[in-house]
Structure 1
Amino acid sequence: MFPDVGLPELVTLTILAVLLFGPDKLPEIIQTVAEFIRKVRAFSDSAKEEIRSELGPEFKDFEFEDLHPRTFARKHVLDGDGIGPDLGLDDIRSALDPRKELTEVADAVRAAADDTASQAAVPPVTLKKSDHPEASARSAFDPDAT
């Protein structure tokens, strides 16, 4: 009923109840609360049965938990009931996954870069000094001028 309530919370609530109501009245209060919870459950069960009987025999297996949006989506969309047997969680994930398109774009960029690199005719660079006269005719670099 309360899935998030653990042992520390129960101990805290028990100590708080003893402090507020005292050890004399605590058993009476627990009995009153338990009786109230039983009456609410009985009222809820009878209301559910009355609704099922009014809906007819085709809704004999109807569960009110199926009306919760998350349960409804899980039952009808993810399991394939109502829409089609081939629509499932894997199909939705693959339809929304951008990896395929990103891979195609990356391959296209690599191919374009390879084509550009192969078409550009860049002369090889050598690190040796050349003995050409035009290289010696250049003016010397002056580091103080800059």
Structure 2
Amino acid sequence: MFNFGPLEIASLVVLGLILFGPDKLPKMISEVGGFIRKVREFSDSTKHEIRNELGPEFQDFEFQDLNPKAFVRKQLSRHGDELGLSEMQELRNGLTKDALAAPPTLRAAHVDPHSGSTGRPLEVTPPAAGEPTPYDRDLT
């Protein structure tokens, strides 16, 4: 839960000695330990009650799944091959620095509402060095 090293613990003890004195420090440590114990017991009992209320269809429910990153990671590990995850990773690993440094002319599907044509490719070339980037005031 907490990741304290020996230096942090020693500095907390010295700080506690300065603030509370040597006679009150052991009592304060035991009170803090009791408080942490009560919080853990409350947390465990709440988790147990939630699992009981959810029913048998949620037996494999983990509270870490409420974290979006953990949920996505778990789902991708279960269904990654069905979604083509391994192919995407191979493509990503196959890219070279040269391919990323000099992108070719960009192509996008363009639909012109006035001409009625759909899906004709639109050539987009990046601006030359020192040339301002064009933009459409109506779109920005």
Query: Shorter-chain-normalised TM-score: which range?
Result: 0.5 to 0.7
CA gap 1:51/1:66 in 2 versus in 1, 3 angstroms: same
Residue 2 of structure 2 is aligned to residue 2 of structure 1? yes
| Alpha-carbon separation, structure 2, partners of 1:101 and 1:94 | 17
Instruction: Show the counterpart of 1:74.
Output: 73
SS in 2 for 1:42: helix
Residue 96 of structure 2 is aligned to residue 99 of structure 1? yes
User: Comparing both structures, which one devotes a greater share of its residues to strand?
Assistant: 2
With structure 2 as the length reference, what TM-score do the two structures score? Answer: 0.61
Q: Deviation at 1:92?
A: 3.2
Between the two proteins, the alignment pairs up a number of residues equal to: 100
Structure 1: runs of 5+ lacking an equivalent: 106-146
Q: Deviation at 1:70?
A: 2.2
Structure 2: runs of 5+ lacking an equivalent: 103-140
| Alpha-carbon separation, structure 1, partners of 2:97 and 2:15 | 58
CA gap 1:87/1:6 in 2 versus in 1, 3 angstroms: farther
With structure 1 as the length reference, what TM-score do the two structures score? Answer: 0.58
The 5 A counterparts of 1:1-146 are 1-3=1-3, 5-77=4-76, 79=77, 81-82=78-79, 84-85=81-82, 87-88=84-85, 90-97=86-93, 98-99=95-96, 102=99
| 1:59 alignment partner AA | F
User: Comparing both structures, which one devotes a greater share of its residues to helix?
Assistant: 1
Q: Deviation at 1:65?
A: 1.2
For the pair shown, the structure with the greater C-alpha radius of gyration is 1
Higher relative contact order (CA 8 A, sep 6+): 2
Q: Deviation at 1:100?
A: 9.5
